[in-house]
Every structure is written in C-alpha cells, then in structure tokens.
Amino acid sequence: MQYKRVLLKLSGESLMGKKDYGIDQDMVAQYAEDIKAVAKSGVEVAIVIGGGNIYRGLEAEKGGMDRVQADYMGMLATVINSMALQDALENTGMKTRLLSAINMEQICEPFIRRRAIRHLEKGRIVIFGAGTGNPYFTTDTAASLRAIEIEADVVLKGTRVDGIYTADPEIVKDAVRFDNLTYTEAYEKGLKVMDMTAFTLCQENKLPIIVFDMNKKGNFMKITQGELIGTLVHA
Ligand code: UDP
C-alpha cells in the first residue's frame, strides 16, 4: 500500500456518465464500488465532489446572475452530488460521513477538521460538501485545502482522461502523456492540472497531485497501491 490517507477529487460532470445533465446513478454506483474496494484495503479515503453537472457560478454570472449568489448555488449543487455518492456508498455497506462547509444540520455534519480526521481514523469514508464554503473558489481548491488540513498523502484527481498531456488528447490526436512532472515544469509548460489557487496550495505545501482516469474500473485501487497509471505532479 503506497498511501495511507488520500483525497479523491471528482468533478460534478463525472457523475453525469453518459447523460447531459444531473446524476447517472449507474456511474455513481460504479464509483462507489471502486471507492469501497480502496477503503476495504485499509486506505483512508476522503472525497470532494464538484457541482458542474448541476450548476456553475461563473456560467450563471455570464447569464446576468449575481456571482456570489450563483456561487452559493454551485456549492449547494456539490452537496446534492455528495448526498448521491453517500447513498451509493452506503448501499455497498460502507460507513460514511458527509461534512459540509455550509451548515445544513438536517442532512450533514458541519465541517470540523478534527472530527473529519477522527472519522477517517475510524475507517469511515468522509465526503466534504459545499466546496470551501466561499464564493469565487472552486472544488479543486476545496480538494487541495481539505487534503492539506487532514494531512492526506496525495490529491487524486479522477477525470475521464488518463493523465496530463502536452495538449488536449480529445482534440489533438498525437498529444503525449506525462508520467510525472514537477510543479514548476507543469507551470512553465502552461499545463492545466487544477486552477491556479488549487495548484499553488499544493505546490506551497508539497502535496503531490495525481491526475488519472477514474472511469476505468479498478484504476482508483491501482493508484492507491502505487501503480503509476496517471500523471504525478510533485515537488
Ligand atoms: N463553488 C464555490 N466555492 C467553492 C467551491 C465551489 O463558489 O469553494 C461553486 C462555484 O460556483 C462552482 C460550483 O460551485 O462553479 C461548482 O463547483 P466546481 O465548478 O468546482 O465543480 P466541478 O467543475 O468540479 O464540477
């Protein structure tokens, strides 16, 4: 086992599966099985999910909405996604806790760092909802921030692409994938790993990031066992 405690970041869009909007329950169930396997192997798993499949503040602003209002709506979207994943994980028999950066005591616990760590130590899968709780941030930043707070060994960014490429592999056919990169190399090459706030937080705190394809069954397990099947960004 390579890592003891990991933070998995999933985008909201990843929950859509083949749908155009919202949540594909089969996709969520597949993620839940993968996450269960990793948790059962003894790795402590914390998760941050985005909300882009439901609502994005920046896009709503372009349509004339107040940005702060729209961002809070985006944060609520992440709680909806978190609840869907929590349900799917509990269907597999796992113990979970959803901790939100915005208080919603009827449906989740408030985010309290020490409590989050305690849950992980007890083997519960912890989901962090509502991003950072602040507008103008992203769930990538929430993932980096929470990972640092809980002293995770690594941020695992699960995407539908199997790593970081010289160009977008879905557009440029001969794009080449990197196995590993330093933060400085990624920055100098202008590669998009996470947004700059999230990326800088990781760099300053020497928190490694691995970008990998979460849609392939078993990949999450391989990564946590130390197999390099994505791109590692490190100090
Ligand atoms: N958001 C926010 N603060 C945060 C995290 C998220 O305001 O700390 C809002 C923001 O409007 C964002 C939306 O929630 O557009 C959904 O999050 P994100 O875009 O990061 O989701 P993803 O792209 O990962 O699906």
pLDDT at residue 134, rounded to an integer: 98
Which pTM value belongs to this model?
Answer: 0.97
Give, for ligand 1, the residue of 56, 111, 192 to mutate: max count of ligand atoms closer than 8 Å to Cβ: 56
Q: How much is the average pLDDT of 113-136? A: 98
| Token pair in block for residue 63 | 């349509």
- Ligand 1 pocket, 68 CB below 6 A? no
- Ligand 1 pocket, 75 CB below 6 A? yes
Tens digits of residue pLDDT in 163-215: 999 998 889 999 999 999 999 999 999 998 999 999 999 999 999 999 999 99
| Token pair in block for residue 90 | 């509990």
- Ligand 1 pocket, 203 CB below 6 A? no
Instruction: Report the percentage of the chain scoring pLDDT > 70.
Output: 100
CATH 3.40.1160.10 correct for 5-234: yes
- How many whole angstroms from its chain centre is CA 221? 15
- Please give the Cα distance from 175 to 232 (Å, whole number): 17
Asked if 5 contacts 150 with a C-beta cutoff of 8 angstroms, the reply is: yes
Residue 105 CA, ligand 1 centroid: distance in Å: 21
pLDDT at residue 49, rounded to an integer: 98
Instruction: Report whether pLDDT(228) > 90.
Output: no
Mean residue pLDDT of the chain comes to 96
Residues in the chain, total: 235
**b/e code 77-95 from CB counts within 10 Å (16+ = b):** bbbbbbbbbbebbeebebe
Tens digits of residue pLDDT in 55-79: 999 999 999 999 999 999 999 999 9
Instruction: Report whether pLDDT(1) > 70.
Output: no
Residue 141 CA, ligand 1 centroid: distance in Å: 9
pLDDT at residue 29, rounded to an integer: 98
Instruction: Report whether pLDDT(160) > 90.
Output: no
Give, for ligand 1, the residue of 21, 78, 80, 195 to mutate: max count of ligand atoms closer than 8 Å to Cβ: 78
What's 18-46 look like in SS3?
CCCCCCCHHHHHHHHHHHHHHHHCCCEEE
Would you say 219 is a known binding-site residue? no
- Ligand 1 pocket, 57 CB below 6 A? yes
- The complex's ipTM works out to 0.98
| Helices 196-204 + 139-149 axis angle, to 10 | 20
Distances (CA, A) of 55 to 19, 147, 159: 15, 24, 18
Domain boundaries, the chain: 5-234
Tens digits of residue pLDDT in 79-115: 999 999 999 999 999 999 999 999 999 999 999 999 9
pLDDT at residue 148, rounded to an integer: 98
